[in-house]
A and B are shown apart, each in its own frame.
Chain A
């Protein structure tokens, strides 16, 4: 796959290339000082670019085609994983993967949307856009987790639930509604992590949890900025403004108390260092599981109900 470099990543990549070239040269000439200088410069550049990203730039990073996806995280973090298939009613949706996973000492049920890397795998995964049977597979697996008293971990990365004729006919709305309804009542810990795109109901269909975490460069909202632009501005050209208005980044949502925690990414984004990203996420998940396991099921359900009950603001005349 051709390397994808976003506009604001370009100056960094250019400097990196320069350093690589100099390193090759330095085998014959002494360039140690120059390289050190450039490395210092590149770090400053990385800091200044990545500490000042606009909301739209974060959306672009969240969609970066080189970002780690669910199956990458599973192989980076899990000692063992058995993928389970099918909703037992209609079929097996490849846009959602799930199964039993070993995470450190814990057995968990891990469920996620899965995108493809290229045209072929994207068609296979339907670009990470689940159909109703995907949500119903997720529900079945979560019910298994409840039956065997295992924590549920969901990783969210979807541009939305698939808007197609068959998806509608098989009850896309009902499938998502049912999952949200059931997830609010499962007496096991649920941890939700937004690892890329968290687009609306398609994301929320596996997104109700006790702890909701977001990787640093991801987005989560009720609508994608482009669609928001097309509806409210009646044009596709206001995606940057829409992203600003929606306040859809991890720091925004932490401030709005919709998420509980931001997980830092390696400098430059998750796609620049898979191994490190996997380690960071695993460590966070182990800590969260440990904490949630201490809480009694009744208490867990009570606080989940209360947490979502508290979301929203209004005035009284």
Chain B
């Protein structure tokens, strides 16, 4: 009986527009809940109402996954180089500089050794914030070195992906990182050193078409977008609406490409249990 249905919501305290002072509150993009930043942080950047997992970076992941002060970073001073003099609307050189300045990071990945519940691991974590977590020479090289570190120390490798794919500004070199990372993971696999891949929002393109999908075990965060082509490209190609839940972690698990969808709060515990089974 839509003809006398109220077209606007009831006026109530709930529905009234609330001002959100900069820096203090954050709106959940999934359920619209206004969340206090401090509380959100304490909840590992997961919405307390609907469990939406906000995108976070390496600093946050390391803080709740690893034992206190156990992380020892390697190659922290590697930065990207504009070796092709790539210019689109901006120079790549400037993009790198601006990204370093605005994020306080050096590139879209950090790696090193650490312990998880006293189990030593080699761990790499991507930062989507840095040019969309795109894969250039630095990301490729650091993943390869993280794999080598695991191989040399005979400790498990963990990679946390968050990437839109290749870094176009490094053109064909960017594509070659798929082989650089996969070939080192191949060597690691032959040595029977475990590799657990954690896929977070989003893991697409060059990441999913190489290291992210090559784990012995694949763990995904709830709701994470996981796929090869991005949804926009697929929509443009097939000119149809995409099905509900398409490319979401839960669907990708149903299709058989993910072992476990694990709430952020439980990843540390899950990793510990898995590593205890494997070792």
Residues of A at the B interface (CB closer than 8 Å) are: 161-165, 167-174, 176-178, 180-182, 184-185, 200-201, 204-205, 208, 220-223, 227-228, 231-233, 238, 241-242, 245-248, 253, 256, 258, 304-305, 308-309, 311-317
Chain B residues near A200: list those with CB within 8 A: 166, 175
Cβ contact of B166, chosen from A222, A304, A309, cutoff 8 A: A222
Asked if A177 and B214 make an inter-chain contact with CB atoms under 8 angstroms apart, the answer reads yes
Could you tell me the distance in whole angstroms from the C-beta of A262 to the nearest C-beta in chain B?
Answer: 15
Q: Which residue of B lies closest to A244 (CB)?
A: B87
- How far is A206 from B180 in the complex, measured between Cα atoms in Å? 15
Cβ contact of A314, chosen from B79, B87, B210, cutoff 8 A: B79
Asked if B234 and A178 make an inter-chain contact with CB atoms under 8 angstroms apart, the answer reads no
Q: Which residue of A lies closest to B171 (CB)?
A: A246
Total chain B interface residues with beta-carbon distance under 8 A: 64
The secondary-structure label for the interface of chain A is helix
Asked if A208 and B89 make an inter-chain contact with CB atoms under 8 angstroms apart, the answer reads no
Cβ contact of A177, chosen from B81, B84, B209, B242, cutoff 8 A: B209
Asked if B79 and A315 make an inter-chain contact with CB atoms under 8 angstroms apart, the answer reads yes
Residue-by-residue, is B96-108 near A (CB-CB < 8 Å gives 1, otherwise 0)? Answer: 0000000000100
Per the 8 Å Cβ criterion, residues 167-194 of B in contact with A are 168, 170-180, 182-187, 190
Known: A169-B255, A174-B213, A222-B171. A305 touches B187 (CB 8 A): yes
- Which of A170, A181, A227 is most buried by chain B, counting CB atoms within 10 A of its CB? A181
Chain A residues near B211: list those with CB within 8 A: 177
Shortest Cβ-Cβ A-B pairs, 5 listed: A312-B137, A163-B229, A184-B183, A173-B208, A232-B88
- How far is A161 from B170 in the complex, measured between Cα atoms in Å? 20
Per the 8 Å Cβ criterion, residues 76-100 of B in contact with A are 77-81, 83-84, 86-89
Instruction: Give 20 A-B contacts (CB < 8 Å), ordered by A residue.
Output: A168-B229, A171-B256, A172-B227, A173-B208, A173-B212, A176-B209, A176-B210, A177-B208, A185-B183, A200-B166, A208-B179, A208-B182, A222-B174, A222-B175, A223-B168, A238-B88, A256-B172, A308-B180, A311-B179, A315-B79
B21 within 8 A of A: no
Q: A164-B238, A168-B227, A309-B144 are in contact. List 9 more A-B contacts (CB 8 A).
A: A165-B240, A171-B257, A172-B209, A172-B227, A181-B214, A201-B228, A258-B172, A308-B176, A313-B173
Asked if A305 and B88 make an inter-chain contact with CB atoms under 8 angstroms apart, the answer reads no
B243 within 8 A of A: yes
B162 within 8 A of A: no
Chain B residues near A315: list those with CB within 8 A: 78-81
Asked if B183 and A258 make an inter-chain contact with CB atoms under 8 angstroms apart, the answer reads no
B45 within 8 A of A: no
Known: A245-B87, A312-B141. A181 touches B182 (CB 8 A): yes
Cβ contact of B183, chosen from A168, A176, A305, A317, cutoff 8 A: A305
- How far is A215 from B246 in the complex, measured between Cα atoms in Å? 39
B138 within 8 A of A: yes
Per the 8 Å Cβ criterion, residues 218-269 of B in contact with A are 226-229, 233-234, 237-238, 240, 242-243, 246-247, 255-257
